A and B are shown apart, each in its own frame.
Chain A
């Protein structure tokens, strides 16, 4: 609580820049992060549940069947959210890796570590749901020569590599450094994954949603999809919070505040 009070005091004095600097240092402190995140847990979980349920059930029940793919297209309501997340989570890990390597911020390495199994889960789900969707639409579960499928598989392998490297060393420092470097190197796969459907001939259809264009989808299909994407982002935020908090407790288990926190 004291630290939160401190930050409120600094709010009254000092320029915006110095206030941001204080916030950066406070957020870099595991104890402050733990305390600051506590009141967010239940609201984020609640919102994640409501929004993703609205999206998924809206897509399953209320979206009209696709004129070409019939009801098989409803797989989109999970495939697209998990695919988008598998890339966003990777970019978050790479961002944390850069901060870790440059400024050695403790929290960035913790958040990166907590994100890895989540990213791996989303990448795996992307491959599984994509494969199941591929069977009725392309006539095959999997095709080794396809650039989109390959780069999605590489993304999963990158996540597994990150997790292995992070835990491969007796010194935590070395694990953090090695996995951060891999995270930055693996970043080249992200544009390849995104543009693979344009650069090569792919079985995969082009992006359903583009930021720069009005979606071609009809509104009754689109709204559940947007809700589902937003809901899955919230779900990720919740899972990341609880995992990060566990990492903090584990890392700081010898500190007085953790003992007090657990003893409550």
Chain B
């Protein structure tokens, strides 16, 4: 095993031997869709919490 960087400069890395567009497009779309998947449950939880807290407040008002 011999792990050495396959590229000698950053611009070469971005160029990806001429396949830069394809490689970065695939990684970009993946990053986008995974980010949506990571954020969605977070915002959904906030919404659920808000709804439940409202319901609790309503119950307390009713009990008075």
Q: Which residues of A contact B (CB under 8 A)?
A: 56, 58, 60-65, 70-72, 74-75, 78-79, 82, 117-118, 121, 124-125, 128-129, 132-133, 135-136, 219-220, 223, 235, 239, 242-243, 245-246, 249-250, 253, 258-259, 262-263
Contact = CB atoms under 8 A, between A and B. Distances in A.
Nearest to A122: B33
Given A71-B17, A82-B30, A259-B56, A62 B25 contact: no
The secondary-structure label for the interface of chain A is helix
Contacts of B38: 239
B41 A79 contact: no
B41 A242 contact: yes
Given A61-B13, A136-B19, A263-B56, A128 B45 contact: no
Given A242-B41, A245-B45, A246-B44, 18 more contacts: A60-B23, A60-B27, A61-B6, A62-B6, A70-B17, A71-B18, A118-B37, A125-B29, A128-B29, A133-B26, A242-B42, A246-B41, A249-B45, A253-B51, A253-B52, A253-B55, A259-B56, A262-B53
Category for how many chain B residues contact A = 35 or more
B1 A220 contact: yes
29 contacts: A56-B27, A60-B23, A60-B27, A61-B7, A61-B13, A62-B6, A70-B17, A70-B19, A71-B19, A74-B16, A74-B19, A74-B23, A75-B23, A75-B26, A78-B30, A121-B37, A124-B33, A125-B30, A136-B19, A136-B22, A239-B37, A239-B41, A242-B42, A249-B45, A249-B52, A253-B55, A262-B48, A263-B53, A263-B56
